[in-house]
Amino acid sequence: MKYTIDGKEIMKVSCEISGDEIEGVAEFIEYEVGTQKIVRLILNLKGNPEKLKPGLHAVHIHEKGTCEGGFKCAGGHFDPGPAGNSDPDVNHPFHAGDLPNIFINTNGQGSLEALTTRVTLSSGPLSILEAPEGTALMIHANEDPYKGGEHGSGISGGPRIACGIIKAGGKHMHH
């Protein structure tokens, strides 16, 4: 499904996603529609179906722009603000970096097109480009059931299997 957004395209940024025999590209495009900002994500993934299993996989924006340490250094979920809670399991599904699941077919390929009003690319408290430690897009081994659980339960998507750093640079448009 392709969305048509009646608004002005403000910024665009893309990031490379990689994991063990998994690769992909994510593109974030921000639109200004009246007084609101909407970010559209277009994510294309492919991998060895043994590693990127067919079915649904959680997709989240994480709070640190690094994929080191088996993706653990990316920290918890991106959830800025005084009431933010980056704990991936406890504060689920209410965090700012939550996105829909991506569906992977039996060939190990899938794409996701989603809209979110929870984050921005442009300047402001919800900017995923200006976050103090950057941000990363994370793909998980399991589906996101969109409900919370105990700390460390992994309910929000389980193991991290692929990651990409979201950073400014590359394709930018300033009006």
Predicted confidence at residue 171, as pLDDT, reads 45
Profile the chain (175 residues) by mean pLDDT over runs of 10 residues.
79 96 97 94 97 97 95 92 81 84 98 96 94 94 89 88 86 42
Q: What is the pLDDT of residue 93?
A: 73
- Look up residue 50 and give its two tokens: 């043994």
pLDDT at 172: 42
Q: Report which DSSP code applies to 54.
A: S
The domains of the chain are located at 8-166
> Structure tokens of 87?
């704990």
**Residue whose token pair is 């340490």:** 69
pLDDT at position 3, please? Answer: 66
pLDDT tens per residue, range 18-45: 999 999 999 999 999 999 999 999 999 9
Instruction: Please report, as a single letter, which amino acid is at residue 97.
Output: G
Name the 3-class secondary structure at 16.
strand
Q: At 9, which amino acid appears?
A: E
Nearest to 38 by CA among 124, 118, 100: 118
> Can you give the pLDDT at residue 85?
83
Q: Which fold has domain 8-166?
A: Immunoglobulin-like (2.60.40)
CA 138 to chain centre: 6
Closest CA to 25 of 173, 175, 171, 174: 171
Say how far apart CA 109 and CA 107 lie, in whole Å.
Answer: 6
